[in-house]
Amino acid sequence: MGKNQPGYFGEFGGRYAPEILTEALEELESTYQKLKKSKKFKKELEFYLQNYVGRPSPLTYAERLTKQWGGARIWLKREDLNHTGAHKINNAIGQALIAKFMGKKRIIAETGAGQHGLATATVGAMFGMETVVYMGAVDVERQNLNAKKIEMLGAKILPVTAGEATLKEATSEAMRDWALNVSTTHYIVGSAIGPHPFPTIVRDLQSIIGKEARSQFKKRNHNLPHAIVACVGGGSNAIGMFHAFLKDKHVAIYGAEAGGLGPKPGEHSATLTYGKTGFLHGTKTLIIQDEAGQIVPAHSVSAGLDYPGVGPEHAYLSQTKRVDYRMVTDEQALDCFLEVTRVEGIIPALETAHAFYVARDVAKDLGKKKDLIICLSGRGDKDVTEVLRILGERSK
């Protein structure tokens, strides 16, 4: 496999997984190539997206936020209104269908904030598949509502206590499970990361976000927006939103990544700002690491962004400068979380609050009579307890 072959985005991507997984990855790739062209598969996916997920998700004009920020008109692509409350279900449904076509009866997943675990547990229940979700023990605590929901749906949660006990460790553990059970199990990777073909499959399944947003906006305004913004951890909602607009050169694209507490190693998850090229969890991408190539623990107030790597396509889009990736600190994200909640009556996920902060700056820079779409990747119910805890500490 070479960098001009499928699975690479410029120099990034590829398949750097243990040999035991190669056969399964090749099977997944060939199955997906067939299913992509299959009318039956497309029809079935569309059926579930419409009748179970609730697509298309609306494109909402945020009148109050537009007034409040005093710049460009703000539009929200409402992935928070999907079943299970986030974009993650688009991918989980699609991959569960692929698993079904491959005859796999067991699905596993890793999860940080719990939204991907919840989406996987949901499709596991719906399709009657045995489901196991790996979640860092720290995340089981700070995202307890989602952890409880996952169990209620009949999936097994396996808390991971190694290392920082967050998403990175949960991902490693899910890969180990897959290596052991590869003939019976499909690993539903939750973001546009991992060994080829995962970044492409997840991107394709999430690209419905951008396709819908583009056509909904065009239908209402007879043109395209001036800018779009999404938050980036692994980057699945962002790549899903961006993909339909990449060729529209006059549409500015912004990604918001977690600046955490500050610029020191271990304080942030700002992979695209501070990351260096490396190899992690099966892919070549930008990674937060020390000078000896050891991965540095990531931090973010948002469990969903707390990952030291990023999808390889984002690394490529950052290198080519097609997307302007900006950092947002924990404080800035929290302030925006509260502002959007009070002004617009929508409680966004903490992940999405990062995107709102970047959007606020971009909206001001663009000025009036311009249009900006934010991918509202998920709702913030899961974050309420954590936000209240932080606010309580702040007021002490």
Partner 1 sequence: MSKIKELFESGKFKSAFIPYFTLGDPNYNDSIEFGKTILDGGADILELGIPFSDPVADGPVIQRAVARSLKNKFSFDEIFRVTKQIHLHKQETPLVYLTYFNPIYHCGITKFLDNAKDSGVVGLVIPDLPFDTIESETLFQELRLRDMDLIHLVTPASTKKRIEALRKTSTGFIYYVTSFGVTGERREFSVDLKERIRFLKDTIQLPICAGFGISTPEQASQIAGYADGIIIGSAIQRVIEENGQDASKAKNVLADYITKIRASIS
Q: Determine the Cα–Cα distance for residues 362 and 98; give it in Å rounded to an integer.
A: 39
Q: Which of 18, 58, 70, 263 binds partner 1 (CB under 8 A)?
A: 18
Secondary structure (3-state) at 81: helix
Nearer to partner 1, 262 or 293 (CB): 293
Candidate segments 125-133, 202-210, 214-222, 288-296, binder of partner 1 by CB under 8 A: 288-296
Q: Which of 295, 343, 384, 390 binds partner 1 (CB under 8 A)?
A: 295
**DSSP bridge pairs for 130:** 106
Q: Determine the Cα–Cα distance for residues 4 and 126; give it in Å rounded to an integer.
A: 39
Nearest distance, CB of residue 284 and partner 1, angstroms: 8
Nearest distance, CB of residue 289 and partner 1, angstroms: 7
Nearest distance, CB of residue 381 and partner 1, angstroms: 31
DSSP 163-179: TTSSHHHHHHHHHHHHH
Q: Is the preceding peptide bond at 265 cis, omega within 30 degrees of 0?
A: no
2 binds partner 1 (CB under 8 A): yes
The sign one gets for the Cα dihedral 261, 266, 272, 275 is positive
30 binds partner 1 (CB under 8 A): no
Helix axes 350-366, 330-344, angle to 10 degrees: 80
Nearest distance, CB of residue 146 and partner 1, angstroms: 24
Candidate segments 66-74, 121-129, 259-267, 281-289, binder of partner 1 by CB under 8 A: 281-289
88 is catalytic: yes
Site string for partner 1, 183-202 (x = CB under 8 A): x-------------------
Q: Nearest-5° angle of CA 277, CA 88, CA 225?
A: 80
Nearest distance, CB of residue 18 and partner 1, angstroms: 4
351 is catalytic: no
Q: Which of residues 226-255 bind partner 1 (CB under 8 A)?
A: none
Q: Nearest-5° angle of CA 341, CA 347, CA 351?
A: 110
* Nearest in space to 238 (alpha carbons), one of 227, 228, 246, 230: 230
How many residues touch partner 1 under the rule CB under 8 A: the total is: 39
Catalytic residue, chosen from 269, 318, 377, 382, is 377
